[in-house]
Amino acid sequence: MPMIAARSSSTAGRMVNLVAAPLMPHRLSVQMAQPFPSGEQFQLELGDQRAVVTEVGATLREYSAGGRRLLDGFESGQMCSGGRGQLLLPWPNRLRDGSYQFGDHLLQLPLSDPERGHAIHGLVRWLPWRPLERGPDRLRLGLTLHPQPGYPFTLDLSAAFKLAGDGLTLTLGAHNPGAEPAPFGAGAHPYLKPLGDRIDGALLHLPAAGYLELDESLVPTGRRLSVEGTRFDFRRPRVVADTVLDTCFTDFEEPFASLDGIRLWFDPQHSFLQAFSGDTLHRDRRRRGLALEPMTCAPDAFNSGLGLVVLEPGQEWSASWGIGLDGALTEAAVVLTADGP
């Protein structure tokens, strides 16, 4: 065992002998700051609005306005689950068997939905995005998506978040710097938070006249159906009740959807919206929020071509959607919640 050498010293006029003593081993405890699972947290503020976007996935983790949390997101110490707030690029939703033909090439992607044997929700959800511009009420993040198995194309992507008086706007951008065309689609996965604990008593308004028929693996069959007379008809606001949704809506009479007074709007680039009630999530998150996912193309668009964008070499593309509070719809939802469904 190591020893401390003996020596003599004088303290307050007295001689003190320091005898040899064993150097006892000990463990040094150091409190280290742990990194967030979702990387750096970018906070935006304007008035009573607050949003948090994460480095990983350019994910909208949190958004509140008027003293109300509008999103069913996740905490800074957690890893994102259920796609909460993530961006879905360069395709949203499911791609059948993870395979598609583009030009003369038959391409195979990793099966990120192994239960059903599909590729799902793109390639950027778990990648780190870099800040390009920052301000108190705005943020623009960027990412270069490099060629990889199943998607041998390069894309320069951007996501710009901006708070204004009417809410939060997100503008997605894409640029093809390569020499070949690239297939492309975009989507996002925010869960809107109801006034109550569950979506069952929430007031939902989806002014969509049609929806896509899905097969047993949740991929479109190619048939577009009318919502008339079905459980999917929310053209007039009504309570969700026990309706199970994992449904792609289209043919919107007006480009928005709302839940308990939270309004999600989208520009004409977005022709589809997936509604997901979360019934297949872990039991403590089921039906706690309603995912309303604006999408520029249909599920499996790389195969069907429905809404697919082909980015030519040098082409740039952008699309926007946003979230805010609708005062009139909020008041109606509050009354409904107080009275009960």
Domain boundaries, the chain: 41-339
Closest CA to 245 of 196, 200, 306: 200
Confidence of residue 121 (pLDDT cuts 50, 70, 90): very high
Q: Which pLDDT score, from 0 to 100, does residue 146 have? A: 98
Residue 19 has pLDDT above 50, yes or no: no
Name the helix (H) or strand (E) containing 331.
helix 327-339
Q: How many CB atoms lie within 10 A of CB 158?
A: 19
Residue 308 has pLDDT above 50, yes or no: yes
Closest CA to 41 of 27, 58, 25, 29: 58
Q: Which pLDDT score, from 0 to 100, does residue 35 have? A: 86
Among the residue ranges 30-34, 142-146, 226-230, 251-255, the one predicted with the least confidence is 30-34
Q: How far is CA 107 from CA 97, 235, 302, in A?
A: 11, 39, 10
Q: Which pLDDT score, from 0 to 100, does residue 284 have? A: 85
Q: What mean pLDDT comes out for the span 48-73?
A: 98
Q: Which pLDDT score, from 0 to 100, does residue 34 have? A: 65
Q: What mean pLDDT comes out for the span 59-87?
A: 97
Q: How far apart are CA 128 and CA 142, in angstroms?
A: 9
Q: Which pLDDT score, from 0 to 100, does residue 5 have? A: 42
Higher pLDDT, 12 or 249: 249
Q: What mean pLDDT comes out for the span 140-169?
A: 98
Residue 69 has pLDDT above 50, yes or no: yes
The first and second tokens of residue 87, run together, are 């961006």
Q: Which pLDDT score, from 0 to 100, does residue 283 have? A: 86
Q: What mean pLDDT comes out for the span 170-175?
A: 99
Closest CA to 161 of 77, 252, 78, 55: 55
Closest CA to 197 of 63, 287, 262: 287
Instruction: Tell me which CATH code domain 41-339 carries.
Output: 2.70.98.10
Q: Which pLDDT score, from 0 to 100, does residue 339 have? A: 57
The model's pLDDT over 265-304, given as tens digits with 9 standing for 90+, comes to 999 999 999 999 999 998 888 999 999 999 999 999 999 9
Q: What is the DSSP letter of 326?
A: -
Q: How far apart are CA 320 and CA 326, in angstroms?
A: 19
Q: How far apart are CA 188 and CA 297, in angstroms?
A: 12
The model's pLDDT over 234-251, given as tens digits with 9 standing for 90+, comes to 999 999 999 999 999 999
Sign of CA dihedral 280, 41, 56, 248: positive
Percent of the chain with pLDDT strictly greater than 90: 84
The model's pLDDT over 74-112, given as tens digits with 9 standing for 90+, comes to 999 999 999 999 999 999 999 999 999 999 999 999 999
Are the beta carbons of 340 and 200 closer than 8 angstroms?
Answer: no
Sign of CA dihedral 324, 327, 332, 334: positive
Q: Which pLDDT score, from 0 to 100, does residue 3 have? A: 42
Confidence of residue 220 (pLDDT cuts 50, 70, 90): very high
